[in-house]
Amino acid sequence: MHELSSERAEMHHELIIAGFGGQGVLKLGQTLAEAAVLEDREVVWTPAYGPEMRGGPAFCTIIISSHPIGAPILSQADTAIIMDQPSLHKYQAQVRPTGAMLINSSLVDARQARTDRPVYAIFANRIAEEIGDNLIVNMVMLGAFIELTRLVEPDSVLHALRDSLPERRHYLLPMNERALLAGAGALRSLQAAG
C-alpha cells in the first residue's frame, strides 16, 4: 500500500465519465477505482451502458473518499470526463460550480462546452494514435485526470492495470504507461497556456 501524503490524506471526489461503448469508458473508471483502493481509499464505482456491444452509450460514476461514503449516488460531480459529443450535452450541467471538465476534443466540440467551469480540451484520439493504438484513448484521458486532480499516484494506476490485464496482455502495459504520461503532459500544456 502507498503512504498518503498529508495534503492528500483528507479528500472526497465525485466523478462522471461518459462516452460510447468501445472507448474504454468503463475500463477507465474501473482502473481509477482499483488504483484508489490500492491507496486505501473508500470507493464506489457504478457502471452503466446501453444494450449495444459497441457504440452505445457508456457511463460510470466514481466516488473516491478518505472517509466512509454515505450514499453511492451523486447528483453533481467535481469532475466530468467527456468522451463524445452526446455526453457533453447530457452531463455537463451536472458539474459543480467549483468543478472542471476534461473533454476528448478529438470527438467533442469544445466551443459547445459551458464556459463557467474550467474545460480542458485534450485531443485524446490523436494522442492515442500517435502512441500507436486508438484503444488507449481512455488511458490518455485518465492521465490528464490524474494530473489535474492528483487523486491517485500514477504508479497505483499502473499497478491496477497490471492486476486487471491477463498476463498474456501485459505487453500492452508500456503503451498504456505512455498514454498516461502523454495525457498528463497534454493537461500540463493546457494549464501552462491557460
- 1: in domain: no
Whole-angstrom distance, CA of residue 30 vs CA of residue 10: 22
Cα separation, 15 vs 32, whole angstroms:
10
Residue 50 placed within a domain: yes
132, 138, 141, 146 alpha-carbon torsion, rounded to 10°: -110
Q: What CATH number does the domain containing 21 carry?
A: 3.40.920.10
Q: What are phi and psi of 15, to 5 degrees?
A: -130, 140
Number of separate domains in the chain: 1
Q: What is the pLDDT along the chain (194 residues), one digit of tens a residue?
A: 334 444 446 899 999 999 998 899 999 999 999 999 999 999 999 998 766 556 788 999 999 999 999 888 888 999 999 999 999 999 999 999 999 999 999 999 999 999 999 999 999 999 999 999 989 999 999 999 999 999 999 999 999 999 988 899 899 999 999 999 999 999 999 999 87
Dihedral (Cα; 147, 124, 120, 14), 10-degree rounding: -60
Query: CA-to-CA distance for 181 and 157, rounded, in angstroms?
Result: 12
Q: Is 2 a domain residue?
A: no
Q: Which domain holds residue 36?
A: 10-109+116-193
53 lies in some domain: yes
From 18, 61, 67, 76, select the one nearest 41 (Cα to Cα).
67
Residue 5 lies in a domain: no
Position 4 in a domain:
no
Model pTM greater than 0.85?
yes
* The C-alpha cell that represents 51 in the structure block: 444494450
Strand order in the sheet with 95-104: 42-49, 57-65, 12-20, 77-82, 95-104, 119-122
φ, ψ at 155 (rounded to 5°): -60, -35
